[in-house]
Every structure is written in C-alpha cells, then in structure tokens.
Amino acid sequence: MKLFYRIKTNCSLPIGRAGVGLFLLLLPLTSTAQFRINLGGDSPLRKLNLAEMAITNLYVDTVNTEKLVEDGIRGMLKGLDPHSTYATAKEVKAMNEPLQGNFDGIGVQFNMVEDTLIVIQPVVNGPSEKVGILAGDRIVNVNDTAIAGVKMSKEEIMKRLRGPRGTKVKLGIVRRGVKNMLYFTVKRDKIPVHSIDAVYMIRPGVGYIRIGNFGANTYKEFMDGVEKLKAQGMRDLILDLEDNGGGYLQAAVKIANEFLQSGDLIVYTEGRRQKRMDYKADGSGKLLTGKVIVLVNELTASAAEIVSGAIQDQDRGTIVGRRSFGKGLVQRPVDLPDGSMIRLTIAHYYTPAGRCIQKPYKKGELKEYEMDFENRLKHGELTNRDSIHFDDSLKCYTLRRHRTVYGGGGIMPDEFVPLDTMQYTRFHRQLSAKSIIITANLRYIDNNRKLLKKNYPDFVSFNRQFEVPQSLIDQIIAEGEKQKVKPKDDEELRRTLPYLRLQLKSLIARDLWEMNEYYQIMNTQNPIVQRALQLL
C-alpha cells in the first residue's frame, strides 16, 4: 500500500532570522505550491514513517512524539546548508516581528534594571502615552500580578504585556516623587516596528540614512526619509548598511530601484528547481542623480548585500567598509500545520555582474560557518586589505566602468576601512559582555532624567554641551572590579576611556530622544562613516 500526503506552502509568508543570527532572504512567490510526497515501500520516507511509528508504539518508555518529529526534521536539515532551518511556532512569531512592521502591545520601550522593568520611552501617540505613562516609570505589576522583585523572566513579562489589539491590561506603576502606586488601564494596539535607525543631514548637502533591516515597511520609511532630507537640501547620500542582517528581498529591490536607470538589472535568482528570475529597475527612482556611498561591514548580509552589489555592479556608487558577510542563498518558507516552519534553501541570488556572493560552506558544518568572524580576525582580514585573497576564477567586471569585482564570499568594498582594534579594547569588550555599561547608563538616566531634560531641552544643546561625568566612569570601573573585569594596565584604560565616553553619551541621547540621536553622536567617531565623508 502506498501512502500520499500533500504539503501546502504559503510562499508569501514573512520570514525571520537564520540560525547564525542573520535574516533569511525570501524568494517572492505568490502562488500556493503543492508537493506530492510518496510514502510507498520504495520511498526513503517510508523508513522514516515506520521508525516514528515503531518508537511511538513499541518503545519501553513514554516518548514526546512532537519532539521526536522536530528532532527528525532538524536532523535532515542539519546535513544541508547553514540557512535551511526549522523553527517552532513560537520561534516563528518572534522572528517575524522585526520584519512585519508592527505587533500588538502597550507601546513602550523598556529595559530591565536588576529585576524591575523601567520605561525608557513610551511610543509617540501609542496606547501607553495616551493614558499618561512616562519615561522613567516602573511597571511593577500587570493585572494585579507582581512582575518586579519576583525574578520573572523578560519573556514572561513580555507575554503578560502583549496581547490582541483592543484588549485591555491593568498596570501598576511606581513613579519617582509620587508616594502611592499609580494604576493605568491600557488598551493594546498595533505598535509600529521601525527598520530605519537614523535619518539626518550629516553635513550640508549630504544626507545619512541607516537601515537596520529590510522589513515590510522599510521602503516607505526610506522614502519618507529621502523626502525629508531633500527638503533640507540633500544632494548626495550616505546609505549605512553596517550590521544589517537582511530581510525581505522585495524591500531590497525597491530601494535599489531608487538609484538605478530603467532596465538596469538589480539581482537575479536561480536554483536547481527554480528558473532564473530577473529583477530590473523601472527608471522611476528619486535618487538617480547625486553621489551615493554605501557602508558595509562583516555583518552586512543577504538583502543588504543585494543593494550593495547592485549599486557596485552598476557603477552607481562607492562601497566603503569591510567585506560583507556573504549570504547568497534564498529560502522558501514551508508552513507546517502547527504554526512551525521549515525554511528551505531553493536558489542562489546573483548580482548584476553574475556574482554569487555566498561564502563557502561545508554541508553539516555549521560551527565552522559561525566562526567566520573569528577566522577573519585571526587571518588579519578585518585589519589589512592585503590579507583578503580571491581566486581568479571568481573574477567579474562591473557593467559600466568594467572594474574588477569578485564573487565567492560577500561584497568587497571599493574603499577598505580596517577595524580599529585600538579603539575596541579587551577591557571594553568585557565590560560590554557583562552588561556593566548598559546597566550603569540605565541607572544614570533613571536618577537624572528630569535634570537632564531641564538642562538640555533639545538635542542640539545636549550634543554641544553635555559631557559624561567622571562619577559615571568611576562607577563602571568599580563595578567591573567587583565582577573581576579590570584593564590589563594603565595604557589599556587610557585607550578605553574615549570610546567609553562616546558610547555613554550616545546611549544617554538615545534614552532621552531616539536612535537617530544615538547615531548622530556615534558616527562622529565611526571610521567607516568618516571615510565616506572624506570621499564626498
């Protein structure tokens, strides 16, 4: 007897992060595909089916059938490429949120200090702001259940705060200067998730836009930013894709389209069972003139590499930074009945010059793949361009100026900017790893928010006049000693302090305003950003 199953895949589903912390790239198909699976006696899948039945019915102890099946799926995918993965329903939901553009909740940015939730900023015009919740408020109970002082996990707190749009949640809040607990009933609503981190004029005539990932609303946010900067006199643009792990292919194609002439190839995809599909510019872009510089680093991946590769191959702009991650694989989401998902690699994507920029990997060797950053650092690639070697067989040429570019492992920038190992000291990395810096910053903001707002009513005055107090630096160093994190010598401490002060000032600005202000400060000492300004 032969058994047949049909698996439906909803190919327009949003996608999440890959196993190595990078966004997957979705091949946009709108039809529902069906696959007929043969479970007859001559099918290898028949063995899998019989093994599951035997274990479930005959094994000596009770087994978790769901886990058994999940382990089997993971085992099959493990032998494929690093980006073919399985995710549970809970994982799928968490991974999709950054890309979908919104979620249902109460609308606050918060962080945990010890075991207490402190509101950093309520979302502008969000449900919490509308009822009067303020930055600095402590949410101590939810629907009369204590969440502070009870060692509740952040995930559990999030679960209690979030809920379907239109439902209500009662919050108990402690506010500085108010003796009794305050109670607010918040009606949950759609909360926007922004993928554009910063939009501002970095100098006269030059705009700066940083994209954190490519989500459902990225293109609209990007175009809103372009219009804002053009109104302020932007002629040239710095597009910052550092640390951008990718996201939706469609969003990347739309943004690349803004820079390219009609008919210019942006990207194409092709696989064993997938015919070549070309994506071309339609000539309607708003950024067809003016200089363009794209910033990349070793964490720039996937959809971000599509934009970078298209602009480089079409000789539309200059790529500045360090070699990008090198993810050139396209995943199709296979939606399973319980909400879980298989994300299966079905094609490669190629830049206009024909480069497949997927870096090499061995099937089933995920650990080596994840060690790529450490290997690049060890081999000197992050600090010395001459340490980067490409095989001549991977050579390609840009389409207008016929400059040499290479496939086989990320986008190599036109202007290489080495990693400044003097700036990121071992002492600083250890302070960051143990959350000593971020915790000290949150305490400082919590204790001084009103005074800071009074002394610096706007970001311009703050940026010009504020200096990180020595007392805050001393607290961080003292806490480091308590946790056995110390500088190797006075020289390491001396090298750490300038960047530590810059980071703290940026974090304080972020918590008083937004991420936009954070990057305005951080970029003053970002070597890749500064090199872009020199080129302009």
Contacts 24+ apart (CB under 8 A), 281-284: 281/256, 281/257, 282/257, 284/257
Q: Is 302 a catalytic residue?
A: yes
The active-site residue, picked from 84, 128, 195, 302, is: 302
In angstroms, the Cα distances linking 288 to 217, 235, 241, 470 are 22, 11, 19, 48
Nearest to 293 by CA among 352, 237, 252: 237
DSSP 179-246: SSPEEEEEE-EEEE---EEEEEEEETTEEEEEES-B-TTHHHHHHHHHHHHHHTT--EEEEE-TT---
C-alpha distances out from residue 409 to 64, 144, 298, 413, 436, Å: 41, 54, 11, 12, 36
Quote the DSSP letter at residue 387: G
416 bridge partner residues: 321
Written as six digits, the tokens of 76 are 């099959």
Q: Which 3 state secondary structure label does DSSP give 222?
A: helix
Among the options 81, 264, 313, 372, which is catalytic? 313
Q: Is 420 a catalytic residue?
A: no
Q: What type of residue is 514?
A: E
CA 373 – CA 300 distance, rounded (Å): 12
Structure-block tokens of residue 238: 């710095």
Instruction: Using DSSP, state whether 164 is helix, strand or coil.
Output: coil
Q: How far apart, in whole angstroms, are the C-alpha atoms of residue 81 and residue 78?
A: 7
Residue in this structure with the two tokens 């793949």, named with its chain if needed: 369
450 is catalytic: no
Which stretch of DSSP H or E encloses residue 209? Answer: strand 206-211
Q: Give me 373's structure tokens.
A: 């950053």
Query: Residue 166: which of 147, 197, 187 has the closest Cα?
Result: 187
User: Looking at 81, 254, 327, 511, which residue is catalytic?
Assistant: 327
Q: Which residues are marked as active site?
A: 302, 313, 327
